[in-house]
Chains A and B, each alone.
Chain A
Amino acid sequence: MNGLTITALVKWVDHRLPIFSLLNEELNEYPTPRNLSYWWNFGSLAGIVLVIMIVTGIVLAMQYTPHVDYAFDSVERIMRDVNYGWLLRYIHMNGGSFFFALVYIHIFRGLYYGSYKEPRELLWILGVVLFLLMMATAFVGYVLPWGQMSYWAAKVITNMFSAVPLIGDYIVTWLWGGFTVGNPTLNRFYSFHYLLPFVIIGVVILHLWALHRFGSNNPLGIEAKGPQDKIPFHPYYTVKDAFGLGVFLVLFAAILFFAPNALGEPINYVEANPLVTPAHIVPEWYFLPYYAILRSVTFDIWFLSAKLIGVVLMFGSSLILFLMPWLDRSPVRSARFRPAYKMAFWVLVFDCVVLGWVGANPPEPPYLYIGQVATVWYFFHFLVLVPLLSLPALDRPKPLPVSIGEPVLKGGGAASAGAPAKPMEKAP
């Protein structure tokens, strides 16, 4: 009886607003390649961390005071006096780090399996937009506790805009709302920090919309040939994602409870002092490669100042990802079948790690030179290597499998479209 009324209610609502049909189609029946590996877990994990960030952020905002005289103390109060304040803040603080770790893996997954290629270019572009929004959110968030590193990160990063020719200084004053980073700056950063995560949600929806148009790419990088190549999202991938979430939460909790400050800078527990710059200013680990690129440019080129070139290269290193679908012309998606591209991919991963390591060290020899080589390699990879390796003459692709189902089902997908594919048969 009870069950009946609920079914009736669902039907009544669904007829007027087909939200249950939508959820059923997109999260239950949604046909998904049958061969997705664990590298396909990171998108949903990032989504869950986004929710964790927003929930903890909203609760933190109830205790936080965005004023230069009180911000630092209010965060200390959260840590010492507010019930479970330490936990909420540590979740939010380390959640930011883990968010980036997940998204970096997610991006490299896309680069490896060619997920940015036709017809997923817009999906990829929306992903890069999400990444940029995340960086902006994390940057303004990091300023809020108003520690020494918060303050100097804010100052150095906002000052980068002074490299813009002619109007640079006006832009910087406008960003600050004063003549240096101060109370107006802190207030607007707080406003943006509250706003941007919700913009991120909006773009996530577009990202998923674009994803569900053609469905996931897969480790083989070939299109599904028919229903036998796909399985419904639920229960197969809901379970796989849930298992991945469990593993992730174990790691997250380990850092949270045993080394909550391992990823941060101790000097951020010293209140901001506008008159004293710390001897070593370094960003959070997830920005280190960009910092290395910025500092690698120590010379002017013609009329362009080192500062301007450094800033352009730093922003360019992320923006270049937008071009990936057009830089890589190879019709083969997955690096599994592209021996040379695969090698170039791993060299790029190594290059990014090197840049991160350089970014953590002072800009002096030998780090400076290593950073310069790594910066050149980074751009060489995207602008020269990737287009060249699109040519079959330089990177001859291995033969592609006939279908996704074939290697699993042995003897061709179509023949064994029986039992495992059954739930899909009603889909079309």
Chain B
Amino acid sequence: MADSANPDLSGDGSGDGSGDGETRRDFLYLAAGAMGAVGTAFVTWPLIDSMNPAADVLALSSTEVDLSPIEEGMAITVIWRGNPVFVRHRTAAEIEVARAVPLDDLPDPQADADRVQKPEWLVMVGVCTHLGCIPIGQRPGERKGEFGGWFCPCHGSHYDTSGRIRKGPAPRNLDVPPYEFLDDTTIRIG
């Protein structure tokens, strides 16, 4: 502090005289400042990262589902990582409708075959890709939207029998979670 206030001392710092000292001092000043900034950034990271999902939250990441009680045309909702997953036993007609759609008609083009492992079983995260509401259409009497799949009441997104977005503000098709068939009637999600 005293240094910068005292012109004599700042002259001394250069050793050999005039302009040199200024650049040397500036360099040290910048280097120290940069180190401080980098150090602060490193210390901030644990604070930020502590807000990411913790180990126990991550550990809850797979769910097994028994498909045998689900009759054709019916659907169940299971919970995976806190979110609903729609498991639908599709009818032949529903599969047919989903396959017949030209990809050009889709806001987020994806063939039905790329969204299922076995055509009769459609497994999707039941969270609207707009702002996260749960679409309706799982239960027999519910409104299924203009494309016979699901309808999100929050801001009016319509999904088809393959869970693809067809109309409304949602940008993407309903997500397909990672899952595998353990046997013919059991899947493990996650």
Residues of A participating in the B interface, judged by any CB pair closer than 8 Å: 152, 155-156, 158-160, 162, 173-180, 182, 184, 188, 274-277, 279-281, 295, 297-298, 305-307, 310, 362-364
Segment at the A interface, from B12-20, B27-35, B46-54, B179-187: B46-54
Q: Which of B82, B84, B169 is the one whose CB lies under 8 Å from A182?
A: B82
5 A-B pairs closest in CB distance: A179-B81, A159-B132, A159-B131, A277-B133, A180-B82
Given A156-B132, A184-B54, A184-B57, the answer on whether A280 and B153 have CB atoms closer than 8 Å is yes
Q: Which residues of A contact B81 (CB under 8 A)?
A: 178-180
Given A177-B51, A179-B53, A280-B153, the answer on whether A155 and B133 have CB atoms closer than 8 Å is yes
Q: Which of A182, A188, A274, A281 is the one whose CB lies under 8 Å from B154?
A: A281
Bound Cα distance A340, B153 (Å): 42
Bound Cα distance A177, B49 (Å): 10
Bound Cα distance A275, B54 (Å): 23
- Please give me the residue from chain A that is nearest to B49 by CB atom: A174
B36: interface (CB < 8 Å): no
Given A155-B133, A306-B171, A307-B130, the answer on whether A177 and B79 have CB atoms closer than 8 Å is no
Q: Which residues of A contact B171 (CB under 8 A)?
A: 305-307
Chain B positions 57-98 with a Cβ under 8 Å from a chain A Cβ = 57, 77, 79, 81-84
A275 with B153: CB separation less than 8 A: no
Q: Which residues of B contact A158 (CB under 8 A)?
A: 132
B52 with A173: CB separation less than 8 A: yes
B155: interface (CB < 8 Å): yes
Report the minimum CB–CB distance from A169 to chain B (whole Å). 10
- Please give me the residue from chain B that is nearest to A299 by CB atom: B169
Report the minimum CB–CB distance from A177 to chain B (whole Å). 6
How does the 8 Å CB contact mask read for B130-158 relative to A, with 1 for contact and 0 for none?
11111010000000000000001111100
- Please give me the residue from chain A that is nearest to B168 by CB atom: A298
Given A178-B82, A298-B169, A306-B171, the answer on whether A173 and B53 have CB atoms closer than 8 Å is yes
Bound Cα distance A279, B155 (Å): 10
Report the minimum CB–CB distance from B53 to chain A (whole Å). 5
Query: Most chain-A Cβ atoms within 10 A of its Cβ — which of B48, B136, B170, B171?
Result: B171
Sample of 11 further A-B pairs with CB below 8 A, known A162-B131, A177-B52, A182-B82: A155-B131, A155-B133, A159-B131, A160-B131, A173-B53, A178-B53, A179-B57, A184-B57, A295-B155, A305-B171, A307-B131
Report the minimum CB–CB distance from A403 to chain B (whole Å). 46
Q: Which of B57, B84, B131, B170 is the one whose CB lies under 8 Å from A156?
A: B131
Report the minimum CB–CB distance from A274 to chain B (whole Å). 7
B54 with A177: CB separation less than 8 A: yes
Residues of B participating in the A interface, judged by any CB pair closer than 8 Å: 48, 51-54, 57, 77, 79, 81-84, 127, 130-134, 136, 152-156, 168-171
Bound Cα distance A159, B127 (Å): 11
B154 with A156: CB separation less than 8 A: yes
Q: Which residues of A contact B170 (CB under 8 A)?
A: 307
Q: Which residues of B contact A184 (CB under 8 A)?
A: 51, 53-54, 57
Given A295-B155, A306-B169, the answer on whether A155 and B51 have CB atoms closer than 8 Å is no
Report the minimum CB–CB distance from A180 to chain B (whole Å). 4
Given A275-B84, A305-B171, the answer on whether A174 and B52 have CB atoms closer than 8 Å is yes
Q: Which of A162, A174, A175, A310 is the one whose CB lies under 8 Å from B169?
A: A310
Q: Which residues of A contact B155 (CB under 8 A)?
A: 295, 363
A307 with B84: CB separation less than 8 A: no
Q: Which residues of B contact A276 (CB under 8 A)?
A: 134
A364 with B57: CB separation less than 8 A: no
Bound Cα distance A179, B133 (Å): 14
B52 with A180: CB separation less than 8 A: no
A180 with B83: CB separation less than 8 A: yes
Q: Which residues of B contact A162 (CB under 8 A)?
A: 131
B82 with A274: CB separation less than 8 A: yes
Query: Most chain-B Cβ atoms within 10 A of its Cβ — which of A162, A277, A364?
Result: A277
B133 with A152: CB separation less than 8 A: yes
Q: Which residues of A contact B168 (CB under 8 A)?
A: 298
A279 with B153: CB separation less than 8 A: yes
Bound Cα distance A305, B170 (Å): 9
Q: Which residues of B contact A280 (CB under 8 A)?
A: 153
Report the minimum CB–CB distance from A130 to chain B (whole Å). 25
Between-chain CB contacts (< 8 Å), 23 pairs: A152-B154, A159-B131, A162-B131, A173-B53, A174-B51, A175-B51, A178-B81, A178-B82, A179-B57, A179-B83, A180-B83, A182-B57, A182-B82, A184-B53, A184-B57, A188-B51, A276-B134, A277-B133, A279-B153, A281-B154, A295-B155, A298-B169, A307-B169
